Amino acid sequence: MGPLYPQGIINSEFNILIAVLIGAVFGFILEASGFTNTRKLAGVFYGYDATVIKVFFTAAMTAAIGLLIMHYLGWIDVKLTFYPKTFWIPTLIGGAIMGLGFIVGGFCPGTSLCAAATGKIDAVVFIGGVMLGIFGFIFTYDWLFAGLRKSGKMGDVDIAQWLGISDGLFIFIMIIITLVSFVVFQKWQDSQTKNMEQRDLNELGLHKPE
């Protein structure tokens, strides 16, 4: 919250309260949207549900456009926002591991916590796996991951800087990619849904009416 307001208007205690309220609302929206359902989350990888792709792309683009507009209006200083240095090799490996866990477990870390709060046993088991991975990384870091952690260093750079284009142009390109992805994934979802319906009918010895 710091970059949005002059220093002193919002103290650290109020920042924590705002974070708690935002987290509660975020969790409620995840549950209301069905994101604590493993079938909906895994559906994006199997092609029968594009909801996750639509929600995440929409959220990312809304945040990017909002930050860009507020920056140009002088309401926020983007340079004061923090993002870590880029190490592309561990980023790709970590993303692949998380994606595999997403497919196998049907949760990401955030949705697993929301699901566990609603009493889902599989989410509790998933969180146990997350904690096992965290502590495994900690205790094996020095002799297994220290070199990997610092490989592929690119410094404080974002994709727009790396491509040598402005933030506005990058966001415009991402909006186009987002809209195209919506169409592609919706067609893929419709195709997979029809195939699943036809397979179910075939198993029952029925035929889908023309």
In a domain, 27, yes or no: yes
User: What's the pLDDT score for residue 128?
Assistant: 93
Residue 152, pLDDT > 70, answer yes
Does residue 203 lie in a domain region?
no
Q: Rounded to whole angstroms, how far apart are CA atoms 162 and 30?
A: 33
Q: Is residue 174 part of a domain?
A: yes
Question: Would you tell me how many other CB atoms lie within 10 Å of the CB of residue 148?
Answer: 14
* 59 within some domain: yes
Domain ranges, residue 163: 2-194
pLDDT at 54 over 50: yes
* Residue 205 belongs to some domain of the structure: no
pLDDT of residue 1: 45
The residue that leads in pLDDT, 17 or 193, is: 17
User: Strands, DSSP E only, in the chain?
Assistant: 86-87, 153-155
Residue 58 included in any domain: yes
Q: Give a yes or no: residue 139 inside a domain.
A: yes
Write down the pLDDT at residue 173: 93
As a whole number of angstroms, the distance between CA 150 and CA 146 comes to: 7
Which tens digit of pLDDT belongs to each residue from 69-116? 888 888 877 777 777 788 889 989 988 988 888 888 888 888 898 889
Both tokens of 189, joined, read 């979802």
The domain tally of the chain equals 1
Average pLDDT of every residue of the chain: 82
**Closest CA relative to residue 191, chosen from 40, 52, 48:** 48
- List the single range of 20-24, 161-165, 200-204 with lowest mean pLDDT: 200-204
Average pLDDT of 117-134?
91
Residues 206-210: what's their mean pLDDT? Answer: 54
Q: Is the pLDDT of residue 4 over 70?
A: no
| Whole-model pTM over 0.75 | no
Q: Which pLDDT band holds residue 155 (cuts at 50, 70, 90)? A: confident
Q: What is the CA radius of gyration of the chain?
A: 21
Please give the Cα distance from 188 to 21 (Å, whole number): 37
